[in-house]
Structures are given as structure tokens and as C-alpha cells.
Amino acid sequence: MKPSLKSVASAPGLELPCATIKARPEDWRVNESLGWAFTKSGEHRYLYIEKRNMNTAAVAAELVRRYSVRPQDVGYAGLKDKCAITRQWFSVTTADDSIEEEFKPPEIATADRYFRCLKSDRHQRKLRRGEHQHNDFIIRLGCDLALALPLMGSLAQPFANYFGPQRFGRDNLAAAKRWLVDRQPRRVSKARRGLYLSVARSHLFNLILAARERQDCVATAVAGDISGSVVGSLWGRGRSPFTDQALAIENAAVHAEHALCHGLEMAGVNRGLRPLLVEPVNFSFAQHPAEAILELSFSLPPGAYATVMLQRCFELKDQSR
């Protein structure tokens, strides 16, 4: 049977129950798993770092400073939440192993933020974005248990694989459009260029996914889809792999953003693909000893957003903002 992707409150007159997240960093835990073995030798030092109340870029900048390397010599597989306790791998192009001992005790910047190295290894190549296997989440929701518990079955089901609002920030999409469409400014930093391209592609993918949802064809293929998969375009140059109905849906979805599509193509980005649907793995839940706290545990593949998964069943109130 095709899973229903509708919100639990999609019926007219119904509202999603409220749930609070990130009241404390301990309420949002993420552990990254690479899923492949190290070569045990090579020019890249891998560090498995736990951080609290720090974003990934801040830790990367600290590694640049401590190892005296260029920013491009530090790699990581994905951006992890700031208001959280997360564990993720970083790679550093360096022959220096001695400085690693400095990272074993927590490096405390203020009373409530730190990072520390839990383990390390060596590998022959740099860690790049999206090269991890999955992210394991342990999330505490502040909620009305009587309303939340009946929704757990729905929460464990596949959900539409939207890019979450954290991908777009406050005005990143507008800035991306100014650069890609209006060409103002014409030159930006490498980091800013990567951000703008990512934001623009994410926006277009979300439009495509929304169009597929409206036609109730997220979980099942339509004429012209790629055989054996249900995916949508991450926009870029190159011929579309879709035909017939699938191609018509995509073209109609991004029609109003033709200039943005053209800007991405002219920027030299190659077309990519992203699954329209994602399913949480090893989903479980339990009532936390604290009253009105529900603790969820599950895994998601790279690029999938836990907040998007939760928003299918709850009106989220982010206490960290």
C-alpha cells in the first residue's frame, strides 16, 4: 500500500499539536556515522568531535587555527545543529598528530559551549560533503503526551524529503537570487558562492516536491520517471533524465523561477537528483522521566531533516531562537 504523506492534521478544521524542541542542547543529539573503514594511513587526520552549542563552521575554523592549515584543508560530511550536542567527523590535511591531544579535554569557550575529540584515525582522502552513511538522532519533545502518543505510528512512516528552513536562513534565498539573476555582486567568496548555489537548488527542489505532492505522486512513479526510483532534480546544467508526465511536472513547478534555473546553469552546476521520499530507520520512542517529555530515537540518511519529519505531525516551537 502506498504510504500517505498527508499531515496528520490535513483535514479541514484540525490543527497540529504543539511540541517544543531545543529547550536545552541536551534535547537535540545527533551522532554521525560514516559507514566505511579508514585506511589507517595517509595525509588526512580524521577527528570524531563532540560539540555543544557550536556550529560546524566554528569547529572547522578552530581546527584551521590549531593545525595552521588552510580552510580548504579541513573537511566534514555535513553541517550539524548549533543548539545541540552533536558528534561528527572532521578531516585535516596534516602530518601533525601531536596537537590532537589538546582536543581530548573539552575546549570551553564559555560556560555552555565546548568541543572535544572523542577518537581519531588516518585516511588517504579528504572527507567531503554527504559522504557519511546516516545520522542518528535522540530528540526530546516537550508536548502533551495524550496528543502526541497516538501520532507515533504516523511519525515513523516515510515523509516528503523537503529541505528544511535552516537551509535558507533569513535572507539567503533573496541574496542567492540577487547574485545568480541580477549578478549583484558579480564576485563573491568561494564559501558564499557554495551557499548561494545550494540555497537556490534547494528552493527549486522544494517547488518540485510540492508540485508532486499536489498531484499525489511522491511515493509512486509516474510516466517519465527514472526506472526504479522516485527522485526530483537538484537543478543544474545538463539534459533532464525525465520525460512525459514527470518532466511536465518539474517544468511547470519551476516555470516562475526560470531566471534562477538559467543562473544555476550558467554558473556551471551539474544537475543532480534527490529522493522525493525518506523513511526514518530504527524509530522508537519513550516517555522521558521528566513530565510531558517524549524522547524519540531514529536514523536518517544524509541531507534529510529531522525538523521536516517532525513538522508532519507537530507544530514545532524552537526554544533556541
Residue 152 covered by a domain: no
Contact between residue 135 and residue 86 where contact means Cβ atoms under 8 Å apart: no
Residue 8 covered by a domain: no
Nearest to 320 by CA among 27, 106, 18: 27
Range of the domain at 237: 160-277
44 and 113, same structural domain?
yes
Residue 179 covered by a domain: yes
CATH code at 124? 3.30.2350.20
134 and 43, same structural domain?
yes
Residue 86 covered by a domain: yes
Question: What is the average per-residue pLDDT within 38-49?
Answer: 95
pLDDT at 14: 67
Q: 2 pLDDT band (50/70/90 cuts)?
A: very low
263 and 206, same structural domain?
yes
194 and 121, same structural domain?
no
284 and 271, same structural domain?
no
Q: Does 8 score more than 70 pLDDT?
A: no
C-alpha 46/C-alpha 41 separation (Å) is 11
pLDDT at 38: 96
Pairing of strands 134-143, 293-300: antiparallel
121 and 37, same structural domain?
yes
CATH code at 206? 3.30.2340.10
Nearest to 3 by CA among 312, 321, 263: 312
Asked if 136 is an active-site residue, the reply is no
301 and 215, same structural domain?
no
194 and 251, same structural domain?
yes
Q: Enter the C-alpha cell of residue 161.
A: 524529503
Residue 229 covered by a domain: yes
pLDDT at 13: 52
Domain count along the chain? 2
pLDDT at 107: 64
Pairing of strands 293-300, 272-275: unpaired
Q: Enter the C-alpha cell of residue 295.
A: 524522547
Residue 110 covered by a domain: yes
* Ranges 19-23, 96-100, 192-196: which has the least confidence: 96-100
Question: What is the average per-residue pLDDT within 204-233?
Answer: 96
228 and 120, same structural domain?
no
Residue 145, amino acid: L
70 and 170, same structural domain?
no
Residue 37, amino acid: A
Q: Does 31 score more than 90 pLDDT?
A: yes
Average predicted confidence (pLDDT) for the chain:
91
pLDDT at 1: 33
Q: Enter the C-alpha cell of residue 206.
A: 522544494
Pick 13 or 297 by higher pLDDT: 297
Residue 2 covered by a domain: no
* Per-residue pLDDT tens digits for 107-116: 655 668 899 9
Catalytic residue among 73, 81, 144, 244: 81
C-alpha 84/C-alpha 175 separation (Å) is 27
Q: Does 159 score more than 60 pLDDT?
A: yes
Q: Would you state the torsion angle of the CA atoms of residues 111, 113, 114, 118, taken in this order, to the nearest 10 degrees?
A: 120
The predicted model scores a pTM of 0.90
HEC per residue, the chain: CCCCCCCCCCCCCCCCCEEEECCCHHHEEEEEECCCCCCCCCCEEEEEEEEECCCHHHHHHHHHHHHCCCHHHEEECCCCCCCCEEEEEEEEECCCCHHHHHHCCCEEEECCEEEEEEEEEEECCCCCCCCCCEEEEEEEEEECHHHHHHHHHHHCCCEECCCCHHHCCCCHHHHHHHHHCCCCCCCCCHHHHHHHHHHHHHHHHHHHHHHHHHCCCCCCCCCCCCCCCCEEEECCECCCCCCHHHHHHHHHHCHHHHHHHHHHHHCCCECEEEECEECCEEEEEEECCCCCEEEEEEEECCCCCHHHHHHCCCEEEECCC
245 and 299, same structural domain?
no
Residue 20, amino acid: T
Residue 11 covered by a domain: no
131 and 40, same structural domain?
yes
